[in-house]
Amino acid sequence: MISGVVFDLDGTLIDSAEQLAIAWSKAFKEFGYDVKPSEIRKYVGLSPAVLISKFMSNLSNDDLERIKSLRKKYFIENINRIKMFPDAVSCLSNLRSIGVNASIATSLGRDMIDEIVKHFNLDRMVCCWVTGEDVKNPKPEPDIFLKAFEKMNLTPREGIVVGDREYDIIGGKRAGSLTALIVRDQYSKTNSVQPDYIIHSLDELLEIIKKINF
């Protein structure tokens, strides 16, 4: 029986990947690195430190924090351009109606997730959220998913992890949960691991859970 769902955020519940890539690109430019958003897009969802390491190296801790701060600044400036996927709104509402808890596991920091939760009133739709700053090891390690299940007072075997990237699926499987890959764009694919389910809408997730539970 499925009692809880752990959702990735970017590209799964909200359509934010493009704006995040743009924000990173602007932040890199202030450090003299001309990196196009299209080059960054496929890495959106990784922890900030890992994403930065794809383009820059030998940074001091101060520089690392400065880049992250700039990324947040540029992202928040354009938060009104970000939308929730329509199927995310309906799915979260319907999950609650059938007694299934929902949580979020995101590589974003606490400051950014707080802004997003406030902007979209996500605290009315999910019971909890875990950020990359709340765990030791980033995706694709299972830490963030294990923490989310713990916050829901569930074991991973009582839930399913849903994300749009391979590292969500790897992390979910390492946690011991069922997994579902939602295909949102050309980057929504897995090469090294097979998800339990491949879906093209979160409405499909609801039907899967109903079949398992009822």
For the chain, the domains span: 4-15+82-213, 17-80
Task: Check pLDDT > 90 for residue 138.
Answer: yes
pLDDT confidence of 193, banded at 50, 70, 90?
A: confident
Structure tokens at 89: 């709104």
Kindly tell me if the per-residue pLDDT of 189 is higher than 80: no
Q: CATH class for domain 4-15+82-213?
A: alpha beta
pTM of the model: 0.91
Residue 183 carries which DSSP code? -
Average pLDDT over residues 183-189: 81
Amino acid at residue number 129: W
- Is the model's pLDDT at 180 over the cut of 80? yes
Q: Do domains 4-15+82-213 and 17-80 have the same CATH topology?
A: no
Is the N-terminal amide bond of 37 cis, ω within 30° of 0?
no
Element (H, E) at 118: helix 110-120
- Residue 125 · residue 93 · CB < 8 Å: yes
192 has a pLDDT exceeding 90:
no
CATH class of the region 17-80: mainly alpha
pLDDT interval class at 190 (50, 70, 90): confident
Beta strand pairing call for 159-163 and 83-84: unpaired
Question: Can you tell me whether residue 133 is helix, strand or coil?
Answer: helix
